[in-house]
Amino acid sequence: MTAAASSPDPGRGGAETWAQATPAEVRAVLAPESAVEFDRQWRAALAQAADTYDLAVVHRCLEAWRRVARVTVAAGGAAGYRAVLEAAAAAKSGGPHPSRAPWREVRTGLGL
């Protein structure tokens, strides 16, 4: 089996596929501004691992960014991820809340 054949397809699956996503697969789906921050944090984690001979910081960094990538894909891409961030910021600050829909409509929209 080649590396390409064994690599997960995070954009098409659930949590189990994202759990195995490579740094390149994660970065590929991030919004441009998120990719810049990913690069900064990834390089810092690699430098710390090189200094300490401990890969735990690299694993924590990748796991955190796998979650961001998963949310970005679930939100429909960069624009959707930005909307999620804006809604979260508004909710945290007590500002305007995103539009609400009845639970029946939400379930129907999700195909449930």
Q: How confident is the model at residue 92 (pLDDT cuts 50, 70, 90)?
A: confident
Is 1 inside any structural domain? no
Per the structure, the complete domain to which residue 24 belongs is given by 13-109
1/22: higher pLDDT = 22
- Has residue 2 been placed in a domain? no
Closest CA to 37 of 48, 53, 26, 22: 26
Over residues 30-56, the mean pLDDT reads 98
pLDDT at 77 over 90: yes
- Residue 6 in any domain: the answer is no
The reply to whether 49 falls in a domain is: yes
* C-alpha span between 76 and 13 (Å, rounded): 14
Q: Please give the tally of structural domains in the chain.
A: 1
Give dist(CA 45, CA 61) in Å, integer: 7
- The answer to whether residue 8 sits within a structural domain is no
Query: For the chain, what percentages of helix, strand and coil (3-state, to nearest 5) are there?
Result: 70, 0, 30
Tell whether 5 is covered by a domain: no
Least confident of 1-15, 27-41, 62-76: 1-15
